[in-house]
Amino acid sequence: MYASVQTQLRQTLDEIRSAGLYKQERLLASPQSAHIRAEGSGDVLNFCANNYLGLADHPDVVAAAKQALDDWGFGMASVRFICGTQTQHTVLEQRLSRLLGTEATILFSSCFDANGGVFEVLLDERDVVISDELNHASIIDGIRLCKAQRRRYRNRDLDDLRAQLEASTDARRRMIVTDGVFSMDGYLAPLDEICALADEFDALVLVDDSHAVGFVGATGGGTPEHFGVRERVDIVTGTLGKALGGASGGYVSARAEIVELLRQRARPYLFSNAVAPSVVAGSLAALDIVAGSDAARAALRENTALFRSRMAAEGFDVLRGEHPICPVMFGDARRAASIADRMLADGIYVIAFSFPVVPRDRARIRVQLSAAHSAEDVERCVAAFVSARAAEAA
């Protein structure tokens, strides 16, 4: 039986390769950080992690995770509702609620799971879900799992969102769903205006704030804090796998009844293991750092501003904004890829993105700044862009 399937699978793999879409994993031989060791490339400066606050190998986070192995053991070997809830799981949920200004929070194994569970519990065939076209894959999949009528609006396009809302006024519930930050562009969703429309049409608002919580907003409360709409956003989903230590785990943070119902009905919560004790403890330490001082956020802001202004001065086309996702636009896919290759040879690790991840002729190198970078690191990255461009032209 397998022989014929094998032929088919090999053919599919060949198609992926010949389309230039085959993803090769780079092997790291070091912890995740600003400075990493990459197999085959040696010591390089890393500008493509979601390690925004530099907490992935922060000594306080690592120490808390180590201590938790002694205090709480290695694994839970249970889902939450049977015997998988330690007191620290509930503390972490409370601490996330405090950071986000929400009533309650429920942990999941990942944000992918959080988004996989939230829609089915809240929406059925009587309802309409209205989703930004550039929302994360986990939102798309989560929406597929619910029976609500689906509508898409053009990225951050309020006129189109209004049109979709107008077309769905006979639904029992309407839910607007958006990423807080769009990861390929670093653009923020206009939550103030989205919430105003939600008020007008009596719609729920869900924001996936994975690329914002911890560093966007005055206290790291994310895009709802940045736009002053924390009271109006009904549901925030997010990850512990980016700024907040970067290990794993996700959450839904929302109004009390929503979280209470998710604990009863969300399938990835009911049928998947509890977050590991050392990850819970490390994430709590990360939240201490986020809540305790503005230092990491300030360093991230300064590095982002430095990179953006130096790149503009060197004549590169960087999509505008203030987010540490800085897309350097090249248009042509081969050019972006060859610049990234040259930069890696120069000790700077960046990734080029092209179709189908971004539109055709909008190929780019996505640089992500971190609080762990020094000003000198940022200058080295800019210098590598300049010399790669010069080598291209030669």
Quote the CA–CA distance of 392 and 394 in Å, as a whole number: 6
CB under 8 Å to 218, separation ≥6 — which residues? 225, 226
Q: Catalytic annotation on 183?
A: yes
State the nearest-atom distance from the C-beta of 210 to ligand PLP, in Å.
Answer: 3
Quote the CA–CA distance of 240 and 245 in Å, as a whole number: 7
Interface residue with ligand PLP among 89, 95, 136, 308 (CB under 6 A) is 136
Nearest to 319 by CA among 308, 331, 334: 308
Interface residue with ligand PLP among 95, 174, 211, 297 (CB under 6 A) is 211
Give whichever of 221 and 339 is closer to ligand PLP, judged by the CB atom.
221
Give whichever of 239 and 354 is closer to ligand PLP, judged by the CB atom.
239
Quote the CA–CA distance of 296 and 281 in Å, as a whole number: 20
Catalytic residue among 58, 226, 242, 323: 242
Is residue 208 involved in binding ligand PLP (CB under 6 A)? yes
Q: How far is CA 11 from CA 14, 19, 269, in A?
A: 5, 12, 37
Q: Residues binding ligand PLP: what is the number (CB under 6 A)?
A: 13
Letters for 212-251 (x = contact with ligand PLP by CB under 6 A, - = none) are ---------------------------x-x--------x-
Nearest to 243 by CA among 224, 220, 227: 220
Q: Residue 328 corresponds to which amino acid?
A: V
Q: Three-class SS of residue 366?
A: strand
State the nearest-atom distance from the C-beta of 222 to ligand PLP, in Å.
Answer: 11
Interface residue with ligand PLP among 164, 210, 278, 368 (CB under 6 A) is 210
Is residue 54 involved in binding ligand PLP (CB under 6 A)? no
Q: Residue 343 corresponds to which amino acid?
A: M
Q: Contact 11/28 with Cβ under 8 angstroms?
A: no
Could you list the active site residues?
A: 183, 211, 242
Question: Which residues make up the interface to ligand PLP (CB under 6 A)?
Answer: 110-112, 136, 138, 179, 183, 208, 210-211, 239, 241, 250
